[in-house]
Structure 1
Amino acid sequence: MLFYELEKLIKSLSATEKKIFQLHGTQLKGDKDYVILYEQIIGQIDTVDGASWQERFREAYPTKSLENTAAYLYKILTDLLVQIRIEQDTWYQQYQCLLKARLCFERSIPSRAFKELHKASKLATASQHHPVAYQAARMELTALSDLGFPGLSEQQLVDKQMKAKHTLQSLRQIHEHYSLYELLSHRLTKGKRPESSKQDKQVNDLILSELSLSTRGSQHQFEPQKLHLLFQSFFFIHSGEYRSALRIFNELTKLTEANESMWDYPPYDYLSALDGILDSLRSIGYYQEMAPFIDRLATLSERAYPEHFKSVATLTTWVYQLNMLLGCKKYEMAAQLIGNLSNGDTQKAVNGHEKQLEYYFFIALTYFMLQQWSKAKKQLNLLIAAAKQTPQHLAYRAGRLLHILLSYEMDDLGYVEYEIRSYKRAFSKQGKAYKTEKLIFNTIAADPKLRGNAWKATAHKKVAAKLKEIITDKRELQLTKFADFGQWVLASLSHK
């Protein structure tokens, strides 16, 4: 696992970060095994000639420990990246101030320590980052007590204590917001599904608790407002009130954009929120409504953020652009978009990322819908190869399923039987099979290509009824949001 994580970390490095690491290596004297290993990995990434970087290193340096060298390289890289992020992001700066303050207290330099705590508190207050604000206040009060409260009146002490108490209360309220949102998410996605006419009592209790919580004193702060809207949108999506959910999505993005000063640098949190909104919209088939949120993604990807963030944002934009066009059945436009994308550096920076798997999938689906079988197969092979270390992603499962359909369309029946057995083995450990999968496998086993029109007409009616049942199952959306596999089944049973 360490080797995979190290390789993934190095692939994510920007050109600037690589230069900083190389400069760090040249400043040190003596043996630098970790630099040699770094160059081996970079060479593997750039050339890919069959031999792994592990094999190359062990062959070239048989007396050196690959495991120890890899662990040290990982440590050096993460230390350097943290230092870079301290210069970019106030979140990192806040914790650095706390570290410096503690160090200064240990070395009996209290005046400098208090300055660091004041800086941490100021940054935390500006970004409404309550954990650091409270930690800074607690460290200050403890230090003042140890020093005998120099020049501090009792009222001033009480004021500091009350300020820390209010910060702690805000932190507790945010924790309660998160707890309710996480419980709602778990109950609606993992627990028993409530009936459409009668909501589950436990879910109703969560809704009442959340409403009560959202009317307390901190409802005007950014984080509680954001969590309240996330809670509402998640509930509306899973209760089938899609128009209400769309309204909340728009409110959430407006709130986030109005509070840009609260964003992390780079804003992975906002990127994740947009990703979640678009994922929900495609799950319910609101493809045209995806456009304004895709535009926001594209704007994020064009801003002056670090390269890794821009690569993830760009790839996420492409994924949903293709997803939207395919959902609207604009297959030729999707193929044209694929031809216009230049993705060499973007792909390399996010190799193994979930969005890379989705990107391969939607390119393959485009060619599949256009019956360009060889192009579709090439993209699916890339997806399967990229997912070796992360087979838990649903994009990989959807890709394997599309690969089965492709093999059937290409009349490679022997391989189809083998692949179905392999598919069942691979995903049996991840819980029960999806109804969509069973429907596809049963259809392929019946081999509609060899059946007459009378059989197809009867089977078509049965499948259409089965699909109505599948559509109402929320769990099936996890798979069918990638492609309308049920329509392929219906098409295979249609008169030709």
Structure 2
Amino acid sequence: MLFYELEKLVKSLSAAEKKLFQQHSALLKGNKVYVSLFQQIAGQTSPPDTAPWQEQFRKAYPSKSLENTAAYLYKVLTDLLVQVRIEQDPWYQQYQCLLKARLCFERSIPGRAFKELQKASKLAAESQHYPVAYQAARMELTALSDLGFPGLSEQQLVDKQMRAKHTLQSLRQIHEHYSLYELLRHRLTNRKRPENGQREKQVNDLILSELSLSTRGSQHQFEPQKLHLLFQSFFFLHSGDYRSALRIFNALTKLTEANEPMWDYPPYDYLSALDGILDSLRSIGYYQEMSPFIDKLTALSERAYPEHFKSVATLTAQVYRLNMVLGCKQYGMADQLLTDASVHVNGQRSITAHEKQLECYFFVALSHFMQQQWSKAKKQLNLLIDAAKQTPQHLVYRAGRLLYILLSYEMNDLAYIEYEIRSYKRAFSKQGKAYKTEKLIFNTIAADPKRRGNAWKTTTRKKVAEKLKEIAADKRELQLTKFADFGQWVLAHLY
């Protein structure tokens, strides 16, 4: 696992970060074997045209431990990246101030320590980051007590204590917001459906608790407002009120954009929110409504943020744009996107293992599949399967394997299909029960509609239509069908 994580870390580095590592290493004396390891990983192509970097290292340095060298390289890289992030992101700066303050208290330099705590408190207040705000307040009160409260009146002490208490109350309210949102998600997506309306009662209890919490005085703060909208959007989405969910999505992005000073640097949180909104919209088939949110992603990618963030934002926008036109059945437009190289078909090396790169492979393959370009589709699916070997838990990998089975059927590779279906069931049996969509596809392939007559197809078509209605009503099935309309493929083979 360390080797995979190290490789992913090295390949996520921007050109500027790689240059910084080289400069940092040049200043250090002693053994530089870890630098050679870095160069071997950074220079490894994917899929590999040469021996894997592990083999290259063991051959070049037979007396050195690959595990120890990899662990040291990981430490050097993460320490260096943390230092870079401290210079960029107030979130990192707040914790650095706390570390400096504690160090100064330990070395009996209280004056400098209090200045660091003031800086941490100011940064935390600007971003409404209550954990650091309370920690700074607690450290200050403890230090003042140890020093005998020099020059501090009782009223001033009480005022400081009350400010710390109010900070702790705000932190508790945010925790309660998160707890209710997480419980709602769990109850609506993971649990089995209880009998006699018990599930509805559980959800209604959460709604009442969330409404009560939203009126306790914190409704004007950014984080509680954001969590309130997330709660509402998720509830509307899973209750089938899609128009209300879309309205909440727009309100959520409007709120986030109005509070830009509270964004992280770079704003991965906002990127994740847009990703979640777009994922929800494609799940319910609102493809045309995806466009304005994709534009927001594009605008994010064009800002002066670090290279890794811009790469992820760019690829996310491109994947959803291709996803959108395929969902609208605009196959000519999809072709144009690919021809214009708007989608990174071969991936960006800095984010090769990212889930969005896997989705990129999938939707490029789907575009070729829908236009019966079988060999091109197969090439992209092979890239997806190879890249996802270390992360088979991603649903896009499962969807890709399923599309590969459909592709094999279209190419009349019947001998391979039996083996692949057995392999597929074996691979995903540990991830819970099979999807109804999968069972429908496997049963259809087993019946081989290409060899069947019109009478059989007419009878089967009616049964499949009923099955597809059942699948459409099952929220769990959306996790798989959001990638492609597999049911339509089945119907198309019954005409």
Give the TM-score band, short-chain normalised.
Answer: over 0.9
Structure 2 Cα separation of the partners of residues 31 and 254 of structure 1: 53
Asked if the contact 1:105–1:113 (Cα under 8 Å) also holds between the matched residues in 2, the reply is yes
Q: State the partner residue of 2:378.
A: 377
Structure 1 partner of 2:69: 69
Structure-2 separation of matches of 1:55 and 1:395: 30
- Contact 1:11/1:45 (8 A) holds in 2: no
Distance 1:476 1:141 in 2: 54
- The alpha-carbon deviation at position 344 of structure 1 amounts to 7.7
Distance 1:84 1:398, change over 3 A: same
* Other-structure match for 2:231: 231
Partner of 2:467: 466
* TM-score, length of structure 2 as denominator length: 0.98
Contact 1:101 1:117 in 2 (8 A): yes
Shift of residue 345, structure 1, vs aligned partner: 9.1
Contact 1:311 1:346 in 2 (8 A): no
- State how far apart, in whole Å, the 2-side matches of 1:22 and 1:46 are: 23
- 1:341 Cα deviation from its structure 2 partner: 2.2
Give 2:271's aligned residue: 271
The AA in structure 1 aligned to 2:394 is H
Whole-angstrom CA distance in 2 between matches of 1:326 and 1:69: 46
1:176 matches 2:196? no
1:74 is aligned with what amino acid?
Y
Which residue of structure 1 aligns with residue 162 of structure 2? Answer: 162
SS at match of 2:412: coil
Distance verdict in 2 for CA 1:5–1:330, change over 3 Å: same
Between 39-48 and 308-317, the greater mean CA deviation after superposition = 39-48
Q: 1:474, CA displacement in angstroms?
A: 0.5
| Greater CA drift, 192-201 or 212-221 | 192-201
Given the superposition, is the C-alpha separation of residues 23 and 265 from structure 1 closer, same or farther in structure 2, using an over 3 Å criterion? same
Give 1:419's aligned residue. Answer: 420
CA–CA separation in structure 2 for the residues paired with 1:219 and 1:448 = 58
State, as a whole percentage, how many aligned pairs show the same letter. 82
Q: Aligned in 2, Cα 1:134/1:287: closer, same or farther, shift over 3 Å?
A: same
Alignment gaps of 5+ in structure 1: none
Alpha-carbon contact 1:294-1:320 (below 8 Å) kept? yes
Aligned to 2:210: 210
Q: Which amino acid aligns with 2:30?
A: G
- Aligned to 2:348, the other structure's residue is in SS state helix
Q: Is structure 2 residue 68 aligned with structure 1 residue 79? A: no
- What are the superposed Cα offsets for residues 144-203 of structure 1, whole Å, 9 maximum, x if unpaired? 000000110111000000000000000000000000000000000001347999961111
Is the Cα contact below 8 Å between 2:374 and 2:407 reproduced in 1?
yes
* Cα distance in 2 between the residues matched to 1:155 and 1:287: 60
Say which SS state the counterpart of residue 44 (structure 1) adopts.
coil
Show the 5 A alignment for 1:67-146. 67-146=67-146
C-alpha distance after superposition, 1:278-301 (max 9, x if no partner):
000000000000110010011111
The runs of 5 or more residues in structure 2 that have no matched partner are none
Aligned mates of 1:208, 1:194 — CA distance in 2: 20
C-alpha distance 31-178 of structure 1, shift in aligned 2 (>3 A): same
In structure 2, the CA distance between the partners of 1:197 and 1:319, relative to structure 1 (3 Å rule), is farther
Q: 1:47 to 1:394 in 2, by over 3 A?
A: closer
Contact 2:345 2:360 in 1 (8 A): no
Report the Cα distance in structure 2 between the residues aligned to 1:252 and 1:433, rounded to whole angstroms.
Answer: 34
Compared with structure 1, are the counterparts of its residues 385 and 90 closer, same or farther at alpha carbon in structure 2 (3 Å cutoff)?
same
- Matched residue type, 2:172: R
* Matched-pair contact (CA < 8 Å) for 1:298–1:317: yes
Return 48-57 or 263-272, whichever deviates more: 48-57
What corresponds to 1:438 in structure 2? Answer: 439
- Aligned equivalent of 1:477: 478
Taking a change above 3 Å as real, the CA distance of residues 485 and 339 of structure 1, as seen in their structure-2 partners, is same
Q: Structure 1 residues 251 and 195 mapped into 2: Cα distance closer, same or farther (>3 Å)? A: farther
Is the contact between residue 395 and residue 479 of structure 2 (CA under 8 Å) also seen in structure 1? Answer: yes
Query: Which residue identity does 1:442 align to in structure 2?
Result: N
CA distance in 2 between partners of 1:402 and 1:115 (Å): 60
Say if 2:53 is the partner of 1:40: no
Which residue does the alignment assign to 2:54?
54
Aligned counterpart, 1:363: 364
Q: Match for residue 339 of structure 1?
A: 339
Cα distance change, pair 400–302 in 1 and its aligned pair in 2 (3 A): same
Find out whether 1:187 has 2:187 as its counterpart: yes
Match of 2:283 in 1: 283
Partner in structure 2 of residue 449 of structure 1: 450
Give the direction of change, closer, same or farther, for the CA distance of 1:308–1:194 in structure 2 (3 Å limit): farther
How many residues in Structure 1 have an aligned counterpart in Structure 2?
494
Secondary structure of 2:468's counterpart equals helix
Q: 1:224 to 1:156 in 2, by over 3 A?
A: same
Mapping 1:270-349, distance limit 5 Å: 270-341=270-341, 343=344, 347-349=348-350
Compute the displacement of 1:451 (Å).
0.5
- Whole-angstrom CA distance in 2 between matches of 1:195 and 1:479: 26
CA contact (8 A) 1:196 1:239 kept: no
CA shift for structure 1 position 120: 0.2
Aligned partner of residue 409 in structure 2, secondary structure: helix
Per-residue deviation, 1:50:
3.0
Partner residue, 2:149: 149
- CA RMSD across the alignment: 1.4
Structure 2: how far apart are the matches of 1:169 and 1:345? 50
Q: Verify the 8 A CA contact 1:314 1:346 in the aligned structure 2.
A: no
- Distance in structure 1 (CA, Å) of the matches to 2:347 and 2:48: 17
